[in-house]
Every structure is written in C-alpha cells, then in structure tokens.
Amino acid sequence: MGEMSKAPTPLGLFTDKLIAFFRDLKETYPEEKEIKAALEGLEAAKKVNPRLIHDLFDEHVYKPLREDILAEDVDKIVAYTKVAIQTQFNEIYPALSIFEKYWPEMSDSNRSAIWKHLKVLVLLSERASRG
C-alpha cells in the first residue's frame, strides 16, 4: 500500500489505449491470429520500451492516416493498408487490416467503436509527441 501512484503520462495513456483497442479487436475477431500476436508484442514492448509503440503508431498510422481517420474515410485507409502490408509488417497493421476484411459486414456499433478508438488514439498520440 505504500506505493505512490503516479499520474499517467501522455505516453502511458496512449500505450494503454492502443493495447485496449487490440484487446477489443482480439475479443471481436478471435480467429485473427495476427491481432493476437500483435497484442502480445505490444504488451511486451510496453514493459520494455513504450516509446517504440508510439513511434510505430506515429509513423504507420498517425502520419499517413490522421486526416483519413478524422474524416472516417474507409476507402483511403483500405487503400493505404493494402500497399503498406505488402511492403512490410509491424504490430499496427493487423488492426488496420480489419477495415478491408470486416468493414462491409460490420455492425454500426462496431464501426462506431473503431472510429472512436482510432480518433482517441490520434489525440493521445499528439499529446505523447509533445509530452
């Protein structure tokens, strides 16, 4: 009980939110092995180097897709992800691949939840960049 709890840092809030997003995706799409593997990778990286997680998101989601996320432009996200996944793999892409795989059949509530997650991640990423 003697441990003082620190206020979460912007980076801590960002990594927690990203991991929560992947947990939600894993529960919603349990058959997606890449999402499960990515979640495990993110959880491990959080312990060792949370800044690495932010850098990955910043480079592969925030910079190329910030405007498209805020505009909820599915087509642009799908087009970007198709090309990006062919050129390299990282822990973030399995989350983006759900747009192509599942979006057409996805319920409105799931779509809304995904946009909410991504928009909050964009804002938290901006804070973590400044923080």
pLDDT tens across 52-105, in order? Answer: 999 999 999 999 999 999 999 999 999 998 888 888 777 888 888 889 899 999
pLDDT score of 87: 80
pLDDT score of 88: 77
Angle at 58 between CA 114 and CA 21, to 5 degrees: 25
The residue whose two tokens read 């499960």 is 36
- Report the predicted TM-score, pTM, of the whole model to 2 decimal places: 0.88
Cβ–Cβ < 8 Å for 74, 99: yes
- Domain extents for the chain? 23-130
Helix (H, G, I), strand (E, B) or coil at 87: helix
